[in-house]
Amino acid sequence: MNRVVVTGLGCITPIGNTVADFRTSLFAGTTGIAPFPPYPEAPAREAHDKTQGLRFTQTAAVKDFDASQHLDSGILTATDRTVHFAVVAARQAAAESQLTNHYTPDKIAIIVGCACGGRQAEETETAKLYTRDARVHPLTVVRTMASAGASNISIDLKITGPALNISTACSSGAHAIGLAFQMIRSGMIDAAITGGHEAPLTFGFLRAWDSMRVVSPTQCRPFSADRDGMTLGEGAAMFTLETLESALTRNATIYAEIVGTGSSADASHITQPHPDGAAAAMRIALKDANASPDEVGYLSAHGTGTLVNDTTEAAAIHQVFGPLAAKIPVSSTKSLHGHSIGASGALEALATILALKESLLPANTGITQVDPAINLDIILGAPRKASPKLALSNSLAFGGLNAVLAFRPIE
């Protein structure tokens, strides 16, 4: 089987719209979480009421991104914000690796994750329909479909190989990367553009999440003793993957090797996670990587900052690693870029890859005291210098859909 490596990176995120800016913010602990501006479509309220009927006031939104500076009017008209993120991030990764100059278009796959589709287009047109019985825009269908990112990356980069979208809630991006890895390893394709994208920060989406009582009224603090929920985000991260042999032959930059992936289902509850499911996915990823638990030197946690998720994920880590669990450095970067649903696994894979490349593990910011019940080595304060032999990145979605990626550094 082929060995598979990462040779190009791209991103549009709340903490940077280039990989260089993302890296700087990641290791400086600079958060992208901030108060969101008023939503014009929110129901009218008293002038002194700044909450817009929500129990929280902050999100992790992409900043200083003008899609018209990157995309032509045709794409802008036919697509939603999530696709803008996807196409620009994919361009960045493809430009760095020069993938399309080295492989025929039919041997490159596009495998991306997006769970929510074009939320802005859907809510805007639905409101017009139900409040004014107005005509719905003729491009509403193609703006809202979750697969629009994969389609538009294909069109933009003239790639004709397999192209598809995976929608598995918060694990979408990680599942997509895992599938792309398996396709290259097996020889089905030669290379891939893969990752995740999402732009769900619409007023209706915020109200829906608010109803679940899982969003923090303050700020996401994964594994903190006083954690009180997640912070919603948006963005995209994209990667180019190819075989190690090909990358070495053409002297490409290699960021990391993907060595394993694991997927499982809790088969338990639609919103309440179960540790057995997450533990199974980690074990499968380790077996797929032909690795033992004592090789893991960093774990990028799903770590949403909710009471249940963090406790359950910690329990799963203890199941897999036993007495080693308390010695493995762990952090969740969602305290920086928020929870971007289908893109979150891709953003966290990017953070994990940079951690391996730089021999520097990102800190879990915003914590004053780690929940003692967690009993894990949560990285606090500054990033930690370390050179792990193996790193895992967890994505644990609603519905009990789990995806774990295993990475090794290239020496």
List, by residue number, the catalytic residues. 170, 302, 339
* Nearest Cα residue to 10 out of 20, 23, 21, 19: 19
Task: List Cα–Cα distances, 170 to 142, 253, 319, 352, 402, in angstroms.
Answer: 22, 29, 22, 17, 9
List the beta bridge partners of residue 236.
12, 197
Strand pairing report for 377-378 and 401-408: unpaired
Dist CA 178 CA 383 (whole Å): 27
Residue whose entry in the numeric block shows the structure tokens 């519905």:
399
Dist CA 324 CA 115 (whole Å): 34
* Nearest Cα residue to 328 out of 338, 347, 309, 314: 314
**Angle value at C-alpha 280, between 310 and 293, nearest 5 degrees:** 85
* Nearest Cα residue to 347 out of 143, 153, 170, 192: 170
Length of the chain: 411
